[in-house]
């Protein structure tokens, strides 16, 4: 019960007693006591009424509000002198709901003696963790031979704080073929978010099949086809050559085109296949006696231990004869000169030396350069070659630096000495501008002509893989387009350049 109400009741009772007592004429002392009490209670009631504080029913002295989630502050229920005065209460102070912090507001209640204020604490807090969203797949298949490239992510936080640069990325190994990329971030209120991307390492690369020998073969009808097989290498499983399945047959008794298929799969099921084309053909029975439509493949600057044997292998496989204009060679390379000769190729003289300043300083120096190598070749194979090719060709102009007019004289001198010299009318460019096997191939096939003898200049010096890699395709092009291949002999009509010195 309100104290003011209690005092009012006591005051009324005293007033009643005073009224009764004052009607009695005797006992003045009792009257004085009662009157005094009446006055005291009257003053007390008046003071209590005037000094009574409003009752502001605050549920909690502190309120926690989530950032960015605005909630209107409601005035608490308030009474004054036993009356509801909630509607007259004012709120003093403001709260920034978009910013974490502690704010103070007051509820102001009007009273008889002035304004009465009650303080309320409001805490704007951030208790919601950020959100990490991964770009790309959460479970990512990565080729075992590839490097993982971060797919990216975005971060959102209800405080609108940019947390992108605060994200920490770590790696957790699970197994040999699985690991997790862990993304973690903490906002300024200590809320932490963690996201994971699972990376599965997979084998998705097929083996590589390499055909032994030429992938495009031409063999004469009724000859023997020998399957040379292939090799297969897988980056993960290694050598799978023994797993290759070969299908297809070649009927060497019937002219036509045949295909041999090579197929292999690795342990992960990646499949590779390739095909060898074999053309069985019938050689022309009436080749041109004039030499038109003939290709003379010539190789300068050999022999070399790295290139010459492989060139001879291709020529043997294709059943094509060529001409080798050789330089001086040591005893370790004699077997290549013998092989060239024994396999039906022509051996020509390019010179004991290829140094222009030495061989073109005089007519005698050049002829000594030729005959010295001629004698060495004769000692090696028992045959003395009489076909030559001038270093730089008969049209070279560098010889002018050492002896003017020497090429005009030598072109006659060598013939008088029983030699025949051969320049070229098709250049592969393998010692000049051609940088790839494709360029070598195009330089040759684009300059062939059926209306003449085609003397093709190539080289078999060490490291000349561009010519080696183009040779089989050049031969196939010639055969498929009706050309025939021959080696140069002493009876071959000379193909020469215009002499410029």
pLDDT tens readout for residues 381-411: 999 999 999 999 999 999 999 999 999 999 9
Residues 110 and 138 both lie in one domain = no
Residues 80 and 178 both lie in one domain = no
The distance from CA 373 to its chain's CA centroid, rounded to whole angstroms, is 54
What would the DSSP string read from start to end of 256-285? EEEEEEEEEE-TT--EEEEEEEEEEE---S
Domain, as residue range, for 113:
56-125
Residues 451 and 320 both lie in one domain = yes
Q: Do the Cβ atoms of 374 and 401 come closer than 8 Å?
A: no
Beta bridge partners of 143: 202
Paired tokens of 295 = 């290709």
Residue scoring higher pLDDT (80 or 325): 325
Ranking 62-66, 211-215, 238-242, 379-383 by mean pLDDT, the lowest is 211-215
Q: Do the Cβ atoms of 322 and 345 come closer than 8 Å?
A: yes
Which stretch of DSSP H or E encloses residue 464? Answer: none
Q: In the sheet where 238-239 sits, what is the strand order?
A: 208-211, 230-234, 238-239
What is the reported pLDDT for 160? 80
Residues 304 and 390 both lie in one domain = yes
Residues 305 and 168 both lie in one domain = no
What is the reported pLDDT for 22? 61
Q: How many CA atoms lie within 13 A of 458 on its CB side?
A: 33
Distance CA 77, CA 99 (A): 28
Residue 304: inside a domain, yes or no?
yes
Q: Do the Cβ atoms of 218 and 244 come closer than 8 Å?
A: no
Residue 498: inside a domain, yes or no?
no
What is the reported pLDDT for 216? 76
Residue 28: inside a domain, yes or no?
yes
Q: Residue 117 pLDDT > 60, yes or no?
A: yes
Distance CA 95, CA 106 (A): 12
Residues 337 and 461 both lie in one domain = yes
Categorize the per-residue pLDDT at 42 as very low, low, confident or very high, splitting at 50, 70 and 90.
Answer: low
Residue 310: inside a domain, yes or no?
yes
DSSP for residue 84: E
Q: Residue 170 pLDDT > 60, yes or no?
A: yes
DSSP for residue 55: E
Q: What's the count of helices (H) and strands (E) in the chain, helices before strands?
A: 9, 28
Distance CA 280, CA 220 (A): 6
Percentage, residues of the chain above pLDDT 90: 64
Residues 360 and 434 both lie in one domain = yes
Categorize the per-residue pLDDT at 286 as very low, low, confident or very high, splitting at 50, 70 and 90.
Answer: very low
Last residue of a domain, one of 222, 250, 281: 281
Q: Do the Cβ atoms of 255 and 281 come closer than 8 Å?
A: yes
| Nearest CA-CA partner of 299 in 458, 153, 190 | 458
Residues 229 and 301 both lie in one domain = no
Last residue of a domain, one of 78, 102, 125: 125
- Which phi and psi angles does 266 have, rounded to 5°? -90, 180
Last residue of a domain, one of 139, 174, 202: 202
Distance CA 309, CA 296 (A): 19
DSSP for residue 379: H
Average pLDDT over residues 441-459: 94
Q: Do the Cβ atoms of 127 and 66 come closer than 8 Å?
A: yes
Residue 494: inside a domain, yes or no?
no
Count: domains in the chain = 5
Q: Residue 279 pLDDT > 90, yes or no?
A: no
The CATH number linked to 98 is 2.60.40.10
Residue 195: inside a domain, yes or no?
yes
| Nearest CA-CA partner of 459 in 495, 488, 479, 434 | 434
Average pLDDT, the chain: 88
Q: How many CB atoms lie within 10 A of CB 256?
A: 11
Q: Is the peptide bond before 303 cis (omega within 30 degrees of 0)?
A: yes
Q: How many CA atoms lie within 13 A of 481 on its CB side?
A: 14
Categorize the per-residue pLDDT at 1 as very low, low, confident or very high, splitting at 50, 70 and 90.
Answer: very low
- Positions annotated as catalytic residues are 300, 459
Give the 3-state secondary structure of residue 250: coil
Categorize the per-residue pLDDT at 18 as very low, low, confident or very high, splitting at 50, 70 and 90.
Answer: low
Residues 238 and 300 both lie in one domain = no
Q: Residue 352 pLDDT > 70, yes or no?
A: yes
Residue 501: inside a domain, yes or no?
no
Q: Do the Cβ atoms of 176 and 159 come closer than 8 Å?
A: no
What is the reported pLDDT for 235? 87
Q: How many CB atoms lie within 10 A of CB 458?
A: 28
Residues 480 and 333 both lie in one domain = yes
pTM, to two decimals: 0.51
Residue 98: inside a domain, yes or no?
yes
| Nearest CA-CA partner of 298 in 405, 456, 421 | 456
Residues 219 and 193 both lie in one domain = no
Residues 402 and 459 both lie in one domain = yes
Categorize the per-residue pLDDT at 284 as very low, low, confident or very high, splitting at 50, 70 and 90.
Answer: low
């Amino acid at each position: 019960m309100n104290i003011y109400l209690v005092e009012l009741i006591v005051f009324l009772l005293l007033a009643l007693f005073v009224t009764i007592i004052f009607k009695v004429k005797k006992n003045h002392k009792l009257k004085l006591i009662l009157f005094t009490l009446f006055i005291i209670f009257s003053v007390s009631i008046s003071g209590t009424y005037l000094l009574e504080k409003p009752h502001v029913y605050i549920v909690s002295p502190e309120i926690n509000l989530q950032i960015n989630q605005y909630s209107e502050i409601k005035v608490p229920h308030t009474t004054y002198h036993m009356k509801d005065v909630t509607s007259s209460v004012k709120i003093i102070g403001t709260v920034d709901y978009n910013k974490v912090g502690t704010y103070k507001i007051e509820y102001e209640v009007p009273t008889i003696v002035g304004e009465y204020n009650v303080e309320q604490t409001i805490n704007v807090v951030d208790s919601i963790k950020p959100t990490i969203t991964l770009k790309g797949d959460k479970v990512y298949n990565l080729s075992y031979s590839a490097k993982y490239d971060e797919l990216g992510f975005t971060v959102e936080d209800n405080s609108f704080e940019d947390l992108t640069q605060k994200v920490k990325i770590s790696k957790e190994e699970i197994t040999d073929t699985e690991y997790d990329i862990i993304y973690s971030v903490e906002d300024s209120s200590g809320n932490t978010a963690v996201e994971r991307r699972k990376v599965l390492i997979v084998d998705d690369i097929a083996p590589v099949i390499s055909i032994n020998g030429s992938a495009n073969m031409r063999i004469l009808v009724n000859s023997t086809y020998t399957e040379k097989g292939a090799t297969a290498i897988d980056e993960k499983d290694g050598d799978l050559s023994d797993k290759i399945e070969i299908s297809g047959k070649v009927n060497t008794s019937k002219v036509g085109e045949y295909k041999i298929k090579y197929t292999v799969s690795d342990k992960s099921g990646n499949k590779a296949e390739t095909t060898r084309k074999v053309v069985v053909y019938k050689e022309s029975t009436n080749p041109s006696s004039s030499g038109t439509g003939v290709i003379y493949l010539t190789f300068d600057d050999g022999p070399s231990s790295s290139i010459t044997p492989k060139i001879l292998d291709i020529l043997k496989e294709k059943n094509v004869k060529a001409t080798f204009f050789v330089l001086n060679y040591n005893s370790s390379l004699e077997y290549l000169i013998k092989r060239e000769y024994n396999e039906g190729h022509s051996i020509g003289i390019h010179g004991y030396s290829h140094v222009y300043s030495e061989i073109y300083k005089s007519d005698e120096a050049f002829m000594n350069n030729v005959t010295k190598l001629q004698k060495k070749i004769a000692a090696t194979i028992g045959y003395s070659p009489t076909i030559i090719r001038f270093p730089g060709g008969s049209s070279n102009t560098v010889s002018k630096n050492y002896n003017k007019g020497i090429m005009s004289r030598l072109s006659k001198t060598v013939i008088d000495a029983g030699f025949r010299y051969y320049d070229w009318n098709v250049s592969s460019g393998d010692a000049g501008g051609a940088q790839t096997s494709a360029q070598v191939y195009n330089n040759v096939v684009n300059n062939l002509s059926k209306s003449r003898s085609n003397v093709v200049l190539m080289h078999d010096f060490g490291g000349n893989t561009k010519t080696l890699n183009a040779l089989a395709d050049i031969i196939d092009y010639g055969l498929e387009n009706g050309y025939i291949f021959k080696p140069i002999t002493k009876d071959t009509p000379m193909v020469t350049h215009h002499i410029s010195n």
